[in-house]
Amino acid sequence: MPLATPYYLIDENLLEANLAKVDRLRALSGAKCVMALKAFSTWSTFAQLAPHMDGSTSSSLNEVKLGREKFGGETHAYSVAWSDAEIDEAIANADKVIFNSVSQFERYAAKAAHLPLGIRVNPGVSHSHFDLADPARPFSRLGERDLARIESVMDRASGFMIHCNCENDSFESFATLLDRFEEKLGAFFERIDWISFGGGVHFTGASYPLEKLAARLKAFSERYRLQVYLEPGDAVVTGTTTLEVSVLDIVENDKQIAIVDSAVEAHMLDLLVYRENASVAPDSGPHRYVIAGKSCLAGDVFGEFSFEAPLRIGDRVSFLNAGGYTMVKKNWFNGVAMPSIAIRRKDGSVDLIREFGYTDYVASLS
Ligand SMILES: *Cc1c(COP(=O)(O)O)cnc(C)c1O
């Protein structure tokens, strides 16, 4: 029996293709890659991911614990701000702790003195098309910028984390950023043992010059004699997952509008946040439809797409690239049925790995 929609469908073969690129980058560059759980935390896939990565990195205590428990390898603990209530548990589950500010470093470093400690540094430059996601935006709180303040923790910090890329598919842009880091921070790089360049480098893309990236990272690590890390999130899962939905109704208002059993805000929130459309394939043919969600939000629209045949009630629509920043952000807005999670195995069979029902909805509130 076919699975009931809506569901996210993760494809193991497509994941494997991305992971092969992660492996190639690690082998050619010597850089370590830790999975950014913020982008994708669907832990049923971690058994497949973990052998091709060096561990995980986090943005909260919950992610630290998930990384330790389900991913393995090195567990990097980073948070924009740790609280007194969570720091001990974060340290207990971490192999490295990265602080976002000198004040957090001063507050908690002594507790974690047995671990390698890092400080997030903000070089004031970035590659991001969105102000919302730009760590170098004015008044940014993401990382220390002041060189004297950074100097004040150099007696205890063994590494830096610099995350300034967001969906960066240009090697030239990454290389230029690295040049800027070196100009500004090169003297510090001589003194640390490791550096993480964060996530946002889309090196798994079909036309990305992975060899050039690897060579640049390798040269960097040799020049400063340090271990380079990357923290890919979206790049690991890009193109591997779809959101499978069904048409529930078709209405007309100057255009044909197909309403599906999902909602943008609840199941693919970033489309709204970044004002983007979903995508479908092949998106060709003479029949044009707006595909919209079933929430009561007027702008709950996935996009306008072309189909070879007229859509009918019950037809399947498959939204592409629904792996990164979707399942980690899904919510119960409108009480819309939560998509299940399914995995297409390497042999083509599909396993339903998690369903969500009314009891999960009730349990999410009180
Ligand atoms: C968001 C984030 C990542 C992952 O970014 P992707 O764009 O998903 O690769 C890695 N490191 C840090 C510090 C982040 O904030």
Domain 241-322+330-363, CATH: 2.40.37.10
* Ligand 1, atom 5: closest residue by C-alpha: 199
Residue 76 in contact with ligand 1 by CB distance below 6 A: no
2 pLDDT higher than 90: no
* Residue 126 pLDDT class (50, 70, 90 cuts): confident
Q: Domains of the chain: which residue ranges?
A: 12-237, 241-322+330-363
Structural tokens at position 48: 């497949």
Structural tokens at position 233: 């999130």
Q: Could you tell me which residues come within 8 angstroms of residue 197 by beta carbon, excluding any fewer than 6 positions away?
A: 162, 163, 165, 178, 217, 228, 229, 230, 231
% of residues, the chain, pLDDT over 70:
100
Strand partners, 330: none
- pTM exceeding the 0.95 threshold for the entire prediction: yes
In DSSP notation, 146-201 reads -HHHHHTTTTT--EEE---BSSB--HHHHHHHHHHHHHHHHHHHTT-SEEE--S-B
- Say if 12-237 and 241-322+330-363 have the same CATH topology: no
pLDDT tens digits, one per residue of 38-72: 999 999 999 999 999 999 999 999 999 999 999 99
1 pLDDT higher than 80: no
Residue 323 in contact with ligand 1 by CB distance below 6 A: no
* Residue 129 pLDDT class (50, 70, 90 cuts): confident
Distances (CA, A) of 34 to 9, 45, 50, 124, 134: 23, 15, 9, 24, 21
The correct CATH number of 12-237 out of 1.20.140.10, 3.20.20.10, 3.40.50.2300, 3.30.2320.50 is: 3.20.20.10
pLDDT tens digits, one per residue of 131-182: 888 998 999 999 999 999 999 999 999 999 999 999 899 999 999 999 999 9
Closest C-alpha to 289, from 306, 271, 277:
306
Amino acid at 217: L
Query: Within 10 A of 147 (CB to CB), how many other CB atoms are there?
Result: 13
Residue 231 in contact with ligand 1 by CB distance below 6 A: yes
Contact 31, 366 (CB under 8 A): no
Contact 285, 308 (CB under 8 A): yes
* Residue 204 pLDDT class (50, 70, 90 cuts): very high
Which of 22, 33, 38 is the pocket-test mutation for ligand 1 (most atoms within 8 Å of CB)? 38
